[in-house]
Amino acid sequence: MKFIFPKNYNYNMKLLGFISYTTALIDAIMGIIIFGIVNLFFHNMSLKIYFFIGIYLPILLFSIFGINKESFIDVVRYIFKFIKNRKIYLYDKTKSLKANNWFFW
């Protein structure tokens, strides 16, 4: 069966149909890091399982479902850009209206 996609359609390959490969790769790397940290601090197997699931599950859920239908990677990128450039732009509508209405008085 062949499908015709419009040229402006952004087609991305996904793992299991709902998670992108880059997100899955980052999740795997984060899982390995969390697994290593949990193994370093805990010796009891049940504590390892509880802490790994407790820390990794929220990260995994955010990466799968996203935040406001944005991918997890994009949200992290936006956060880092905001932290890097903390310029706050305040748009005051009343001041701009007063500045633009000089012609009418």
The confidence band for 93, taking pLDDT boundaries of 50, 70 and 90, is: low
15-24, 36-45, 93-102: which range is least confident on average? 93-102
Q: What phi, psi does 17 have (nearest 5°)?
A: 85, -5
Q: What is the pTM of this model?
A: 0.58
pLDDT of residue 37: 92
8-12, 60-64, 96-100: which range is least confident on average? 96-100
